[in-house]
Structure 1
Amino acid sequence: MKSTTTPSIYSQYSGKEEIEDKSSEQPQQKVETDSLDVERQGDNPVPAISGNAAILLFIGLAMATFLASLDGTIIATALPKIASDFKAQSQMSWVATAYLLTYNAFQPLYGKFSDIFGRKIMILFACVTFMVGSAGAGGATTMTMLIVFRAIQGLGASGLLSIVLIIISDIFSLEDRPKYQSIIWSVFGISSVIGPLLGGVFVQQVTWRWCFLINLPLGVVTIVSVLLFLRLPFERQDLKKQLARIDYLGTALIIAAVICLLVPPQVIGRMLIVVLIWAESKALEPIIPPRLFLNKTVSVLFGVNFLTGMGFLGVIFYAPIYFQVVKGAGATASGLQLLPMVLGLVISSIASGAAMAKVRDYRIFIWMGTTMMSVGIGLCTLFNAHSTMGHQIGFLLIVGLGIGLILQTCMLAAQAAVEKEDMAVATALCGFFNSIGGGVGIAMCSALFNNHLTAEFGKMSLEALIVIKEYNIAQEITQVQHLPVEVKGLVIEAYVSTFQFIYKCLTPIACAAFLLSLFIRKLRVLDPSEVIMAAA
């Protein structure tokens, strides 16, 4: 692969801005090298990999991203059928929650673990774990068994996206990185949005079990490509030394804090975060180095990622329900109607990747993206029973265009704002804050949705409530379309009001992402040695 030593694609600080002095930070640890094939151009290590091998490796990495993102949303349209088959309506939400809990709890760990054990070992571990969880979920005979294997799936999936992005930052120069990361983020967005569509197809055409079994042949593609083509510098240490480098207290606190943030009681989660900050400040090799949060630009970027995740997942989960309940669309059709959002995300992600080298300032893309996301989600508050297809396409397209501009630009900016030894952790944390934001957003929207809908039903007459109970609308929301005409109108009106309320709550969150992005500092010129990958 050709080495690129372009001085920078970033702009310099303006006259009065001072470049942060990083020399006073903790001393850089020794970077270890591997016995794998490495070419050297000057002082910069470049992986020895041919053009065809790079393409095949990249396909495998993209497939890993597709799988991790897909399983977060594919069960959205399959949950009612799964709950019906197992006769476990009360446990239905845990099929989604179990995956999100482990996905979010373990994601920040993979960045540091990939520094300790190596990128190749960690992505293979993540992929195999994910496939074991998929096989178990696909063959589950009880709801409890399904929930357990969904948690195992999440454990594996949490490493797939973060390690993929770390590997890309290793093997591609900063100049080439945007176009490759834009493809990865496009795959992430596409799989997130087509998940409900694919889940609906499986439920209607074959069985919901294929929502999980489809991962097995696709996961093999990732494993084979990584085994054959991934070559990164890494010196193999004695296992005892590697295990001694793990921050066990920090690891336990991160897992516990994230779980407590996503499920009641959240107060305990906040307390654990305080303890975590203290513990990480004392650790020799912290999982989450506190110095990252002392970097104002990095902290702001993490915040933008968190708020974007809340808006993104909120739209993905509740737009299909709106299409099914209010517009009467089937499971498959409701997924298809999210395609404008996919199209917008792909177009803006690829376009921003191509334009970065010319524009030379990431902040512009983040500002544009957060603005469009805010406008798009705000327009979604206008959805009602009479909204036209043009409104649905236009509003979701704007949301997708905005999110596509945000995802990869925030990550690239964070990578450029940290030292080499922190790049893997910063990359993993960008994905972590985006996904934890999505988890918090879904939990928040779920509570708001249920409370608001209950209040709307409380305004109805006793006769209407009796009919609603007879049709079991609380468990089978698709039954709304089969209600008697006089009650159907009232129920749809209640749902419309609730959906509008949800988007009214998400709009200020998106606006907060824009306001926060205004504090991103203009990045310094990178040293040529920083343009090429950091050793693993």
Structure 2
Amino acid sequence: MQLVSIAALLLSGYQVSAAFASDQTSLYDTSKTRSPSIVFFLLDDLDYQLQSLDYLPYVQKHLVEKGTLYKRHFCTTALCCPSRVSLWTGKAAHNTNVTDVNPPYGGYPKFLSQGLNENYLPVWLQSAGYNTYYTGKLFNAHTVENYDSPHAAGFTGSDFLLDPFTYQYLNTSYQRNKDPPVSHVGEHSVDVLAGKAYGFLEEAVEAEKPFFLAIAPVAPHSNVEITNLEGPVEDIIAKFSPPIPAARHAHLFKDVKVPRTENFNPEKPSGTNWIRKLERQSQENVDANDHFYRNRLRTIQSVDEIVDGVISRLEKHGILDDIYIIFSSDNGYHIGQHRLQPGKECSFEEDINIPLIIRGPGVPEGETTDIVTTHTDLAPTILQLAGAPPRADFDGEAIPLTKTRIKAATRHRHEHVNVEYWGFAVGEGDFDKNRFHYNNTYKALRIIGEHYNFHYSVWCTNEHELYDLKTDPGQLHNLIHEDEVAPETLLGYPLAKVVARLDSLLFVLKSCKGQTCTKPWRALHPAGNVGNLHDALSPRFDNFYETQQKRIKYSRCEAGYIVDAEGPQFEREGFVYRHGAQWHHITTEEHNERSPLLGHHQSFPSEYSSSTSIVSGSISDSESSDNDPFRSLSKLPTDEESHRVSDAATGDSQRPNTASVARIIIVLLIVLATHPVIASEFNDLSDSSWLFTSFALAGAATQSLYGKLSDIYGRKALVLVAYALFALGCAVVGVGNAMWQVILGRVISGAGGAGMTVLVSILITDLVSLREVASWRAYVNIVATIGRSLGGPFGGWLADTIGWRWQASCLLFTKVSEFLLRWLRSFFGQAPLIVIAMLLCWAVLPSHNVKQNLTEPHRSKETSSRLARIDFLGAALMAAMTLSFLLPIEIGGVKIPWSHPVVPILFSCGVVLAILFVMTEAWWGKEPIFPLQLLRQRDAVASYLIMGFQVAAQLGMMFSVPLYFQITAKASNTVAGAHLFPAVAGNAIGGITSGLLINRFGRYKALIVFASLSSSISYLLLILRWHGHTDWLESLYIIPGGLGTGIAQSALFISLQAAIDPAHTAVATSALYLSATVGMIMGLAGVSTTMQEMLRRALDRRLLGLGYGTRKRAGIVEKAVSDIGYVHNVTGVVANAVMGAYVEGLGYTHVVSLGCSLLAFVGSLVLREHKL
């Protein structure tokens, strides 16, 4: 069945991939036409937050309305030259080492010295067959003296603005191709640029080759007079003043002011470091800033005209619809926010959130998207448009351009931005008393998810900032500043927990390279089970983030990127998560054939529920089976009832036949449905784990209802309903085309399987006397043992031979073939036997309950009368109560953190529902769905608790034994599953022996005490003796564990029936099954968590002792827990470390089992024995 579910997941993924492929073809297919041409407008200091885009009518008309606006686009360094180098190289500034506008840490000379002149976008585009053109500002410190030392590489045609005249609007120098610079005194810089841009455009079109044209006006940068080309920056810059617009625009926007946002010139200081010390601006200062803002708007009107001019020319040539046009800026700008003078260089939103508009074929028109993009994504995007292969050293990734890919990106694209800065900040207005603000070095993180929007930064002074932009969009309230009142919680978690995660994420990003920059969570969690902040906040990672991981801490403030000053580095001193997901978290994933190591056992608990066998090496999909942890829990009549049954029953010959037929059919389902193994890749963790969770919870919610309903409607009717539900669930899973449909099928199957397990036991109780029940169940256990014996090796054989890729290969067929295959494997594979079972039950089972008239007054068979007997309210409350308690146990720490508000809400609902249930059953229920007097009977409660602990204990052993032999003996799945035979044999012997002894002597307490002791001895022997070299004799140590469970399950059923009113046998039996389900869920959580925790811890410790570094250790650990081939093939000291770690981790699972069995022993001591 799980194969079918995986096929559905793979098919849906295949369809999405096919859609993306088709979508991408429409954008990038160059087989039918030449590669698309690209025009890139790169402005200087254009803001997004101050609404400058609103004042560009042609940009709005031609680009915003005809393209897509990426409203969450960020630069990664809020300074001209470093930002531009990152844009053209696709690398963060710490990887280009161009971190300033002037030498020694930045500018064109630094760009050259880092070898980037031969390794950036225009060079790559020329290699891809493009003509490349550039006009305007390229980099800072690109001067009239060094422009040819050497020339900027990669351009078919270029005309660069050069220092020291770059920012003098009316006194510029342009340098064309290899010619010397030409001065344009008295001409407006942007107008000169317009003529050059149009000229290059005409040249590019005439060449009839794909082209790339970059148009880079200096607007709206402030006007700057530079007197020197070398020396300290204080000597280079003579004067800042507002930008100078073209004369034709000087009269515009006379009444416009800087937007008066909450953070504009605030009354209280904000931020930290030097920013928090700024004085509030005077009115004169504010007026000057408004004038500065107006001149910026006026200056960019000339750029707006160039946009219109380029568009009209492209349209005239008939190629407009074939061109991609990109519009952006190198960084943002602030004016008055946080009391700052005009400038940039901060990590506030005004400085780093910048415009990005893209228009072109396939790009949605008039759309705005919230996906997070950065400047390091632009080079990968342009190369992808050009049809060139991606570069492995990119720190960014291509931006999605089509509607389909943008929509997909909202779910899957990264949510973070890495921002960094070195050196000083400078105020560009006339009112900054200290124009240069040193120690402005910092690392910052922007992270934006569906439910959060944070800015976190660490300064070189080791001051910190944290802003919640959902509640504080102006970034006025630094949540971790000593002067602010810090909230106790954030996102429902203690504030310190969130900060620890953010600091660790920034710790990775501040020195990241390549894909680590876009997938930093994978660097922290190589297993891939953490993809965002929400995932990382799981409580199981608390120790890792809050205790183990290094913190960002600068050694000192430097003006450039000097690693020695930047404190701990993740690559050298950082920690990788060594505990991983809980074991049961791993066990329900889509699997990979190369990983039967975990897969053989992962498949086991994924189907392990109240209706599965705990002694199969590979669990079957026969959720309907009575071959489960409580397979011998049958409803037993009392002595008084046994005399009545002998009178009412139709004959001894019918008794074993009825129970045996039901048993055999269920066992056949187990053998048929055992699945192969698929090793987890963690890619669809949240969805695939619901295949188990939905089934288990549905069974738990409905299991306790079958007993009472069968009293009212008869066993036969309810058996048929249960089989029908199970068959229907199989069909839904088989034909499901979406994950929710598969999960729905699992819910239906769970409800049916729960009834099948309960009703088979009740049927036996109906047909024989109390003492005889024990012996008849012993005989039935022999049949059950056959199924359990075949389950392990047969499931292992499937994993060893067929593997999951056989199912995945079905994706090569058409959708019709896929549909038919899944239908055959799911429904036709199981439904025929279910149909046979239903027909046999219909023909053989009596139409009435053989004890009905003896245990209760005669009831009318009219439908209305039967309906009136049903305690609908009690049933609903009981089901809801069960779900409320079990659901948080299932999802807590896996899908949501334990501290998530949903967990206490569900538990609280469970408490409220429990109170309402008790009130309903005590005062209003005429025939309670669950008689409360059962909970007042000490021995009934003791039976329930012992059963839960015993099931939890044995689960750990059945979970770990095959894995142990796969690791220590390199056993195949088949052989590893066969190692469960001793436990299976002990289980069968225990069940048969206890039945015969109870039937012979009428005693059961001693058997229950012995059962828990036997199990405890078994688990203790495993702890003491299974250390990696287990001979055949030691492999028999699991026999006492199976023996104890077999005895306990038969004897506990008798102890329960002996203690209760005969009228309650059906509902009491249902409750016993529920206790086993709860024990299974609790035990699995404990065992899986312990295994994963201790395995990773032990292996990392051993590797550390061998001298391996952090990243190397992390890689070995992940391979060891995911790939059986790696474990089998690794050699030398690493092989010894891996085996030792596994043995140690598995040993701790036996400790969990031992603890549960000892609790069962304590319960057996307080259990009283009743005469049979």
1:122–1:399 Cα change, 3 Å? same
SS for the counterpart of 2:1078 is helix
Question: Aligned equivalents of 1:43 and 1:445: distance in 2?
Answer: 43
Question: Aligned equivalents of 2:791 and 2:837: distance in 1?
Answer: 19
Question: Aligned equivalents of 1:54 and 1:206: distance in 2?
Answer: 41
Q: Is the CA contact (8 Å cut-off) linking 1:185 and 1:408 kept in structure 2?
A: no
> Counterpart of 1:323?
965
Q: Is the CA contact (8 Å cut-off) linking 1:126 and 1:160 kept in structure 2?
A: yes
1:433–1:70 Cα change, 3 Å? farther
Q: TM-score, normalised by structure 1?
A: 0.80
- Tell which deviates more after alignment, 247-256 or 225-234: 247-256
What per-residue deviation string (whole Å, max 9, x for no partner) do you get for residues 435-480 of structure 1? 32112211221222222233334433336425426x7444445642
Q: Is the CA contact (8 Å cut-off) linking 1:74 and 1:194 kept in structure 2?
A: no
SS for the counterpart of 1:284 is coil
Does 2:900 align with 1:263?
no
- Tell which deviates more after alignment, 181-190 or 335-344: 181-190
Does 2:778 align with 1:131?
no
Q: CA deviation at 1:484?
A: 4.3
- Tell which deviates more after alignment, 220-229 or 293-302: 220-229
> Counterpart of 1:524?
1171
Does 2:678 align with 1:80?
yes
> Counterpart of 2:842?
227
Q: CA deviation at 1:211?
A: 8.5
Which runs of 5 or more residues in structure 2 are unaligned?
1-641, 805-821, 853-858, 893-902
- Tell which deviates more after alignment, 191-200 or 377-386: 191-200
1:322–1:478 Cα change, 3 Å? farther
Does 2:831 align with 1:216?
yes
Q: Is the CA contact (8 Å cut-off) linking 1:130 and 1:157 kept in structure 2?
A: yes
> Counterpart of 1:429?
1071
Aligned length: 478
> Counterpart of 2:998?
356
Q: Is the CA contact (8 Å cut-off) linking 1:348 and 1:402 kept in structure 2?
A: yes
> Counterpart of 2:1141?
494
1:388–1:139 Cα change, 3 Å? farther
> Counterpart of 1:505?
1152
Choose from 655, 658, 676 the match for 1:57.
Answer: 658
> Counterpart of 2:649?
47
Question: Aligned equivalents of 1:434 and 1:129: distance in 2?
Answer: 22
Does 2:896 align with 1:281?
no
> Counterpart of 1:419?
1061
> Counterpart of 1:95?
691
Q: TM-score, normalised by structure 2?
A: 0.38
Question: Aligned equivalents of 2:961 and 2:1099: distance in 1?
Answer: 21
> Counterpart of 1:389?
1032
Choose from 978, 983, 988 the match for 1:346.
Answer: 988
Q: CA deviation at 1:319?
A: 1.9
Q: Is the CA contact (8 Å cut-off) linking 1:257 and 1:269 kept in structure 2?
A: no
What per-residue deviation string (whole Å, max 9, x for no partner) do you get for residues 211-247 of structure 1? 9865434323421221111113366633333333333
1:478–1:508 Cα change, 3 Å? farther
SS for the counterpart of 1:297 is helix
Does 2:910 align with 1:272?
yes
Q: CA deviation at 1:154?
A: 1.8
SS for the counterpart of 1:181 is helix
Matching residue's letter, 1:493:
G
Please tell me the root mean square deviation across aligned C-alpha atoms, in Å. Answer: 3.2
Question: Aligned equivalents of 1:489 and 1:361: distance in 2?
Answer: 50
> Counterpart of 1:28?
none
1:358–1:41 Cα change, 3 Å? closer
Select the structure with the greater relative contact order (CA < 8 A; seq sep ≥ 6): 1
Q: CA deviation at 1:399?
A: 0.8
What per-residue deviation string (whole Å, max 9, x for no partner) do you get for residues 142-162 of structure 1? 655444323322211111121
1:330–1:140 Cα change, 3 Å? farther
Q: CA deviation at 1:332?
A: 1.8
Q: CA deviation at 1:503?
A: 0.9
Matching residue's letter, 1:202:
L
Question: Aligned equivalents of 1:185 and 1:281: distance in 2?
Answer: 38
Choose from 146, 151, 156 the match for 2:747.
Answer: 151
> Counterpart of 2:869?
245
> Counterpart of 1:111?
707
Q: Is the CA contact (8 Å cut-off) linking 1:202 and 1:211 kept in structure 2?
A: no
Q: Is the CA contact (8 Å cut-off) linking 1:186 and 1:345 kept in structure 2?
A: no
Q: CA deviation at 1:45?
A: 4.6
Q: CA deviation at 1:311?
A: 1.0
What per-residue deviation string (whole Å, max 9, x for no partner) do you get for residues 367-397 of structure 1? 11111011112222232221223212x2111
SS for the counterpart of 1:518 is helix
Q: Is the CA contact (8 Å cut-off) linking 2:1120 and 2:1138 kept in structure 1?
A: no
Q: Is the CA contact (8 Å cut-off) linking 2:953 and 2:1152 kept in structure 1?
A: no
SS for the counterpart of 2:648 is strand
Question: Aligned equivalents of 1:45 and 1:504: distance in 2?
Answer: 50
Question: Aligned equivalents of 1:67 and 1:257: distance in 2?
Answer: 34
Question: Aligned equivalents of 2:1142 and 2:827: distance in 1?
Answer: 31
Question: Aligned equivalents of 2:1061 and 2:711: distance in 1?
Answer: 14
1:177–1:443 Cα change, 3 Å? same
Matching residue's letter, 1:47:
A
Choose from 173, 178, 187 the match for 2:774.
Answer: 178
Matching residue's letter, 1:376:
S
Deviating beyond 6 angstroms after TM superposition, the runs of 4 or more aligned structure 1 residues are: 40-44, 67-71
Question: Aligned equivalents of 2:826 and 2:796: distance in 1?
Answer: 9
1:286–1:480 Cα change, 3 Å? farther
Question: Aligned equivalents of 2:1139 and 2:1151: distance in 1?
Answer: 18
Question: Aligned equivalents of 1:203 and 1:352: distance in 2?
Answer: 35
Which runs of 5 or more residues in structure 1 are unaligned?
1-39, 526-536
Question: Aligned equivalents of 1:416 and 1:161: distance in 2?
Answer: 21
Matching residue's letter, 2:1067:
V
> Counterpart of 2:477?
none
1:472–1:252 Cα change, 3 Å? farther
> Counterpart of 2:1021?
379
> Counterpart of 2:798?
202
Question: Aligned equivalents of 1:250 and 1:199: distance in 2?
Answer: 41
Q: CA deviation at 1:253?
A: 3.5
SS for the counterpart of 2:931 is coil
Question: Aligned equivalents of 1:317 and 1:330: distance in 2?
Answer: 16
Matching residue's letter, 2:936:
L
Q: Is the CA contact (8 Å cut-off) linking 1:60 and 1:221 kept in structure 2?
A: no
Question: Aligned equivalents of 1:42 and 1:245: distance in 2?
Answer: 24
Matching residue's letter, 1:272:
G
Matching residue's letter, 2:765:
S
Structure showing the higher helix proportion among its residues: 1
1:206–1:43 Cα change, 3 Å? closer
Choose from 1063, 1087, 1093 the match for 1:445.
Answer: 1087
Percent identity between the aligned chains?
25
Q: Is the CA contact (8 Å cut-off) linking 2:1094 and 2:1145 kept in structure 1?
A: yes
Q: Is the CA contact (8 Å cut-off) linking 1:46 and 1:171 kept in structure 2?
A: no
> Counterpart of 1:529?
none
- Tell which deviates more after alignment, 376-385 or 250-259: 250-259
Larger Rg: 2
What per-residue deviation string (whole Å, max 9, x for no partner) do you get for residues 73-115 of structure 1? 945xx3426x67x974664443333332222222111111111
